[in-house]
Structure 1
Amino acid sequence: MSKKIKNVCVYGVGGVGGYFGGKIAYEISKGKHAIQVYFIARGEHLKAIRKQGLHLLTDKGEFVCYPNVATDKVEQIPIPDLYLLCVKGYDLDNTVASISKKIHHDTIILPLLNGVDIYERIRTNLHQAIVSPACAYVSSSIENPGTIRQKGPEGQIVFGKDPKYVDYNYTYLIEFFNEMGIGNTWYDNPYPVIWEKYIFITALSLMTAYSGKTIGKVLADDKLKSMTENIMKEVVLIGRAKNIDFEQDIVEKTLQKARNFPYETKTSFQRDYEKGNARHEGDIFGGTLIRWGKEYNISIPIITEVYGALMAR
């Protein structure tokens, strides 16, 4: 008999966590599944969720989603069978420290963060549990406290084997996502696909913040589109140096994916940058690549120029 997921913790209920966590909570509320879902949130967003549930607005309808518990203290929940880590990269280390005493040996941790070194960063501080390298495709954000707005294609989770536990059986996790109506794709080696997402999010995050324009407007401007394409090519150069096997047409394929997003979409990094937030994910998209470029002696002039301009502001 296969293992079942009975307790799910969504750690971080912003755009990504609010979308996937909301879908899970809504599905569970139908009464067909003996599953508990816990939200780790904070501030006004947490207060609103506690008071009136999480409102998930999508192109397919509006849903009110009630977790079993919404809290800002992970100590207040039972040990989960599954963590969806949906925090920003700059909060990852603190998040891992906070869950380190709230895991079983086979608790699954699915990190849905931007970046391609997230698994390694988690494993530096966490030596137990199953950590599945993963990423998510979804265009969603907090519209107001307690409300998540998702636009465009339905969200998808991509995930694969923990390099530390290559023989672990993930069948029950795939079954769980299917039961929750969450699009998911399994890869024995998920790293090429995680890097594909990284090409996409790096180029668009840097260029939307740099230009102050939405994804659609960046792609409609010949100069900005050319810069975006060149950033993608530079990320590919770094990825190949790290032995990632990309498809030959990966840049054109990634540009097409960007064209499928709603014209007025802003990236998460762009929203943080425009708010003047001191904490943002710029280092994930710029600093990390510049350091790797130096390490592998690879020239990445457009990333260096754009990131430099962003940080100088």
Structure 2
Amino acid sequence: MRILILGAGAAGGYLGARLIESDEEVTFLLRGERLNFIRDNGLIVYSELGNIKCRAKFITSDKLTRDFDLVILACKAYALINAVNDIKPAIDKDTRILPLLNGVSHLQYLDEFFGREAIMGGLVHLAVELDTKGRINHLNHFHRFIFGCRHPEQNTCGRILENIISKTKLEFSLSTHIQHDMWEKFIFLTTLAGATCLFRGNIGEIMQTESGKDYITGLFQECVDIATEYGHRPNDATMHDYIELLANVDSDYTSSMLRDINGGAATEANHILGEMLKRGVEKKLSVTLLGYAYSHLQVYEYQRDRLII
């Protein structure tokens, strides 16, 4: 299978490096500084599960042809429109597209643009970041890749990809209910990002405060209630696992969104907290805690925009 990955940032670069490590054919669609780094240095990954330094094939959007069987979108949600324009030259009727964006709203946009038969579903549970030298740092032991088919025409691609991923070090599953899985991550990520950004600390630090536990569990419940209204209530085992992660007083777990804030970067606040809030308002549910967290992030984005201007 010929695989094109849009983006060699932290998540896309890590996934691609693990595929290259197992001798799969991967090409990265790149531009700008990241292209220059990959050309000069290759991919560099530091992980307790195995470091990687490898050369990587890359291409620019103006050189794309329809030679790829699978296109993996590993960009930030706010870059989706540009990403779609970049990959268009690589897409024909047999190409499958696997977005690994956070949230769920991107599926509708991609379905309308390319057709539902082209758009698979996917997510990663992965804590990674790019350091100032362009290297990918894997921050814990999680590196789980979940993907699934949303249309019968994707089944062959799904089976081939399952066989490919089985040869890597990645934990993975080919899901039969991928949109439900994506909603479950949406709940968890909204709670994690909302709490850690609002309190500007990790889970353990928040849990040591006067109202931290009440806030986290309350925010989590608001998100669960919203998901339930859309037909995606997590099962009891998943909810138990999430609460254990989100209420662990010894945890140094934080969110990539907080790391973005600390680095002065743009965030996915609109596409994660804003989208969850919008859906809660549409269903006339209580979203007070979600609203506080999103408002805090809106202030950050307003301030950041003024600094850029």
Give the 3 Å change call, closer, same or farther, for CA 47–176 of structure 1 in structure 2: same
* Residue among 111, 124, 130 paired with 1:142: 130
* Residue among 113, 116, 119 paired with 2:104: 116
Q: Name which of structure 1's ranges 138-147 and 72-81 shifts more when overlaid on structure 2.
A: 72-81
CA distance in 1, matches of 2:188, 2:116: 31
**Percent identity over the alignment?**
23
Scaled by the length of structure 1, the TM-score of the pair is 0.86
Displacement of 1:240 in angstroms is 0.9
Equivalent residue, structure 1, for 2:271: 284
CA distance in 2, matches of 1:63, 1:169: 27
Please give the residue correspondences for 1:10-89 in structure 2 after superposition, counting only pairs within 5 Å: 10-28=5-23, 35-69=24-58, 71-73=59-61, 75-76=63-64, 79-89=67-77
Give the 3 Å change call, closer, same or farther, for CA 129–68 of structure 1 in structure 2: farther
Question: What SS does the corresponding residue of 1:293 show, helix, strand or coil?
Answer: helix
Give the 3 Å change call, closer, same or farther, for CA 287–18 of structure 1 in structure 2: same
* Residue among 258, 262, 265 paired with 1:270: 258
Contact 1:158 1:184 in 2 (8 A): yes
Question: What SS does the corresponding residue of 1:101 show, helix, strand or coil?
Answer: helix
Displacement of 1:129 in angstroms is 5.9
Spell out, residue by residue over 1:31-60, the C-alpha distance to the aligned partner (whole angstroms, 9 max, x if none). Answer: xxxx43111234333222111211100013
Contact 2:61 2:89 in 1 (8 A): no
Amino acid of the structure 2 residue aligned with 1:303: L
Q: Does 1:200 align with 2:195?
A: no
Scaled by the length of structure 2, the TM-score of the pair is 0.87
CA distance in 2, matches of 1:77, 1:131: 19
CA distance in 1, matches of 2:8, 2:253: 19
Give the 3 Å change call, closer, same or farther, for CA 76–144 of structure 1 in structure 2: farther
Spell out, residue by residue over 1:150-191, the C-alpha distance to the aligned partner (whole angstroms, 9 max, x if none). Answer: 022241111112247476562111001112332211122212
Spell out, residue by residue over 1:245-283, the C-alpha distance to the aligned partner (whole angstroms, 9 max, x if none). Answer: 4213543321224578x9444422112223333x32101
Displacement of 1:72 in angstroms is 4.2
Give the 3 Å change call, closer, same or farther, for CA 249–178 of structure 1 in structure 2: closer
CA distance in 1, matches of 2:237, 2:167: 34
Equivalent residue, structure 1, for 2:304: none
Give the 3 Å change call, closer, same or farther, for CA 39–219 of structure 1 in structure 2: farther
Amino acid of the structure 2 residue aligned with 1:64: K
Q: Name which of structure 1's ranges 266-275 and 53-62 shifts more when overlaid on structure 2.
A: 266-275
CA distance in 1, matches of 2:34, 2:57: 16
Q: Name which of structure 1's ranges 282-291 and 263-272 shifts more when overlaid on structure 2.
A: 263-272
Unaligned runs of 5+ in 1: 29-34
Contact 1:155 1:183 in 2 (8 A): yes
CA distance in 1, matches of 2:27, 2:62: 9
CA distance in 2, matches of 1:137, 1:65: 23
Displacement of 1:216 in angstroms is 3.6
CA distance in 2, matches of 1:178, 1:18: 18
Unaligned runs of 5+ in 2: 301-309
Q: Does 1:244 align with 2:236?
A: no
Question: What SS does the corresponding residue of 1:185 show, helix, strand or coil?
Answer: strand
CA distance in 2, matches of 1:95, 1:270: 24
Give the 3 Å change call, closer, same or farther, for CA 258–8 of structure 1 in structure 2: farther
Question: What SS does the corresponding residue of 2:205 show, helix, strand or coil?
Answer: helix
Contact 1:105 1:129 in 2 (8 A): no
Equivalent residue, structure 2, for 1:31: none
CA distance in 1, matches of 2:101, 2:185: 11
Spell out, residue by residue over 1:49-96, the C-alpha distance to the aligned partner (whole angstroms, 9 max, x if none). Answer: 111211100013321021122x44363466221222110001112212
Equivalent residue, structure 1, for 2:143: 155
Give the 3 Å change call, closer, same or farther, for CA 174–52 of structure 1 in structure 2: same
How many residues of Structure 1 are paired with residues of Structure 2 in the alignment?
300
Give the 3 Å change call, closer, same or farther, for CA 63–267 of structure 1 in structure 2: same
Spell out, residue by residue over 1:187-216, the C-alpha distance to the aligned partner (whole angstroms, 9 max, x if none). Answer: 222122211111111111111111111244
Q: Does 1:179 align with 2:174?
A: no
Amino acid of the structure 2 residue aligned with 1:297: K
